[in-house]
Structure 1
C-alpha cells in the first residue's frame, strides 16, 4: 500500500475517528472538546520568529521531553516552542509543565487536508517528533515545505518494526525524510536502518529519559507524603491498566499476610478508571483516595493515586515500585522514573516498549522481572522483610541511571544545529 491509498482510507475513516472520540468522551469528557484542532484548524495565531515544534503524544512522552524542551527554549535563537499531543491527559501535562510559555494544540489527524491546514497555520522552523511518532502525511508535508525534521529519543520495538516492514512503499520514503533519527539504543538504530533510513542519518545517542531530575518541589512533596504514610513498608503500582489491578491486589493481599501493615499505592494510568479501581480496592480492605485529601490510617490497605501530575512525588514516598503496563501485553512504561529515587524497581514480563532499557537494567541487577502475582508477592515480601536487600536493589537502580546520563545534551546539539 502506498501513501495515496493510505490517505484515501484514512480520510474515509474520519467519521469513525470522530465517533471514537465521542465514545471515549463518555468517560473522559475532554475527548469531546477541541475537535477542530484535530482537523488542523486553530484560533491561535502563529507567533513571529523561529518556531520549534515538538510532538509528544501523551503524558509519558511529554514528561520525558520536558528537559529537552526547556533546553531548546533557553537558546536565544528560538523565539517560541509549539507542543502538540493527542490525548487530553498529555494536554494537561503540557499546561502543568509549561503554562503559557509555549504554544499548545492537539496534533492533526494524518489526512492530507488536516496536515495541510495545520502546517499552513503554524509554519514550524524545525519539527521534532518524539519516540515512535511516524505519520506518513505529516512527515511528507514537512518535507514538502523544506522543514527539517528530527525523530528524537527514537525507539522501535521488534514487533513494530515487523509491522512497518509490511508497508515498504510508505515506510522507506517516510524514514528517508528525516534529517536525523536519534535512536535510544543500538537495536533501535539497526531496525530503522533495516526499514530504509539512511545509515548516516541514524545516530545512537541514548534516551533522554536517563536525564530525569528530581525537582526541589517534588522532593519536598514526597517527604510530606512519606510522613503521612508512616513507618511501614509502602509500595507503588504505577500506571496500571485494565487486567493488572486484580493481579496487583492479589499480590498485596499475600504481602499483608506476612507484613500486615504494608500499604499499596495504586495509580491507574487513565483517569477514567479511577472510580472503578477504587471500588475494586475497597474489596481488599480500607481504601483512601488521594483526591479526597483524607489521610491514610494505620489500617489502610490501599491508597489510590487518583490525581494527575503527581507520579514522581508518589514514587519518592514509597519503598519499592512496580511499573505497570507490563503484567499484560501492553508493553510497559518508564522504569527510570522510580529508579531516580533509588528504590527497588519491579516490572512484569511484557516490556517491549522499553525492551533495551529493561534488558540492560536487569543485567545490571537494577530491575526485578516478576512474571505473575505470585512472583510479585514473593519479591515484595523479600524486600519488605530484608532491609539490606531492599537498599541494595534501590542503590543498583540509581547507579544504573547515573551511568547512562548524557543523551539530552547529544539530542539538543542535533536539534540546535538545524537553526
Structure 2
C-alpha cells in the first residue's frame, strides 16, 4: 500500500494499514518530527536510510522488522477500550481487597513488581512462550514442552504462570529455558514482556483469554494458539451472553485446539471462526506417571506403618474438615492412613491444627524426619509432590469437589490405577468425569456419610477398589495422543 501525505507534511501509511511497504516519517524540523513521533508510534521498525522528498524535505525511511516480529498498526476494538476502562476503574478499588483476601487465606502470589515487568530478566528471544495459569495447567505445559524440545531442539522455550504455586511447580523442572510470571494484563507490562522475549509464537494453555495480551500479539503479528482449550458450563453461559463484546477480543487467536468436540462447538459459539478451531483431545491423558517417587515417600510409608493410604489431594478450605470427619468415623480397625494435600500449601499449618481436633496424630510433611512413631495423618506443605505421591495410595479423593469450586484433575491418580472418589462439584473437569463415571472408573459422593460408607467398602474389599482403578487406567490408554496433534500444529509456526 502506498503512503499518503499526512498532516504537516508527515508521510504515514493509511490508518489501520499493514506496514508492508516503506514508511516515511518526516524529520526535517523538530515540530514535524515530534508530530510524527506522537501521532504514529513505530515499535519494531528499523531505520533504513535518509532521503529528500519533493515538497516534503529530509525524511527517514523505515521498514518493518522481520515478519515474525512485524508490526501491524493496531485498530483497537471498542470492546478492548471498554475492558481498559473497566480495569482502570476497578483496579484501584479491587486491588486492596484482593490483597487482604489473599493474606487472609494465606495465598502466595507473585510480587507486583515482577508482574509489572519494570526490570525484566534477560530472556532467550525468538522462540515460543507458553503460558499456564497454575499447577494443573503447568502439568499440561510440561508435557507439551517435552515434546517440543524433542522435535524442535533449536527453539528457545519460555514458560510463564500466574500463581505462586504454578511458578514454583514450573521452576522445579527443567522443561523450559526460562520461567517467568505472566505480566499484568495492562498495556505497559504486556509491551515490556513481549519486547523482552520477542516470541515467534505464544501458546496459552486451556482458556487463558487476556484481551490486552491478545491485542498486543496481533499488533506484532505473533501467532497465538490456545492449547488444550476448554470452556466449562458456567464460563460458557457467561461468554455466550457477552458474545458481541467477546468476539472482537478473540480475533487475534490464530488456532484453538480443543479438548473435545463440545469444547470446539463452544469456542465457535462465543465468536471464534470455525476454521480456526479443531478438537484434538485432552493432553492431560498423555501425562506420563513420574519415573520415580520423591525422597519423602519412604518417610510417609514409615509413619503409615503398613496401613493402606488414602490420598486426599487438592482439598479446598472447608473441605478438609469433611474428609477428616469421614476418616474419623471409620472404625480404627478399618481406618486408613491419611495423606492430606491442601490445594494451597500455605494453609497446611491451619489444616494440621484441625486434624488434632479430631483426635488424630499428625505432622507436616516438612517435619517428618523428626517423627519416630506411626501417625494417622501427614499434611503436605510442599509444592509439586502430590502427583508422584498418588502412587502410594490405595484410594484417592480428588478435592475441590465437595465444595463448589469446580474440582481438580482426576487423571493424576488414574495414571497409577488408583481408584478415585470425588464430590459432585466437578465443572472444571466435567467431560473427564463423565467418561470416568460412565465406565465405572470413579465414584461420586455428595455427603460426608456417603464418603465414609464408600471408604469403608473399598478398604474392606481392596479387590473391588482395584477394579475401579484399573478402569481409570484403561480410559487413559484409550484417549492418548493429543500431545502429538497439538505439537504438530505448533511446529508449523516454529520451523526455521
The question of a shared fold, defined as TM-score above 0.5 by the shorter chain, is answered with yes
Whether contact under 8 Å (2:226, 2:253) holds in the other structure is yes
Aligned to 1:54: 130
CA gap of 1:114–1:87, structure 2 versus 1, over 3 A, is same
Deviation, 1:186, is 1.5
Normalising by structure 2, we get a TM-score of 0.79
Aligned to 1:282: 356
Unpaired segments ≥5 residues, structure 1: none
Which of 345, 351, 368 aligns to 1:271? It is 345
Mapping 1:342-381, distance limit 5 Å: 342-381=417-456
* Residues in 1 aligned to 2:413 and 2:185: alpha-carbon distance in whole angstroms: 35
Superposed CA offset, 1:326-354 (max 9, x none): 01110000000000011101110000000
Deviation, 1:289, is 1.8
Q: What SS does the corresponding residue of 2:340 show, helix, strand or coil?
A: strand
Larger Rg: 2
Deviation, 1:296, is 7.3
* Residues in 1 aligned to 2:106 and 2:455: alpha-carbon distance in whole angstroms: 34
CA gap of 1:20–1:81, structure 2 versus 1, over 3 A, is farther
Deviation, 1:52, is 0.3
Q: What SS does the corresponding residue of 2:331 show, helix, strand or coil?
A: helix
Which of 6, 12, 21 aligns to 2:89? It is 12
Normalising by structure 1, we get a TM-score of 0.92
Aligned to 1:154: 229
The CA RMSD measured in Å over matched residues stands at 2.2
Deviation, 1:17, is 5.6
Q: How many residues align?
A: 414
Whether contact under 8 Å (2:304, 2:376) holds in the other structure is no
Which of 384, 389, 412 aligns to 1:314? It is 389
Whether contact under 8 Å (1:237, 1:322) holds in the other structure is yes
Unpaired segments ≥5 residues, structure 2: 1-77
* Residues in 1 aligned to 2:160 and 2:93: alpha-carbon distance in whole angstroms: 22
Higher alpha-carbon deviation: 145-154 or 210-219: 210-219
Q: What SS does the corresponding residue of 2:271 show, helix, strand or coil?
A: coil
* Residues in 2 aligned to 1:348 and 1:143: alpha-carbon distance in whole angstroms: 41
Which of 268, 282, 287 aligns to 1:193? It is 268
Whether contact under 8 Å (1:40, 1:116) holds in the other structure is no
Q: What SS does the corresponding residue of 2:401 show, helix, strand or coil?
A: coil
Mapping 1:70-89, distance limit 5 Å: 70-76=146-152, 78-89=154-165
| Residue 63 (structure 1) aligned with residue 139 (structure 2) | yes
Mapping 1:58-137, distance limit 5 Å: 58-76=134-152, 78-98=154-174, 101-137=176-212
Q: What SS does the corresponding residue of 1:265 show, helix, strand or coil?
A: strand
Aligned to 2:27: none
* Residues in 2 aligned to 1:194 and 1:250: alpha-carbon distance in whole angstroms: 43
Q: Which has the higher helix share?
A: 1
Whether contact under 8 Å (1:226, 1:318) holds in the other structure is no
Deviation, 1:36, is 2.4
Superposed CA offset, 1:95-143 (max 9, x none): 10128x5222211121223322222222211000010101112111111
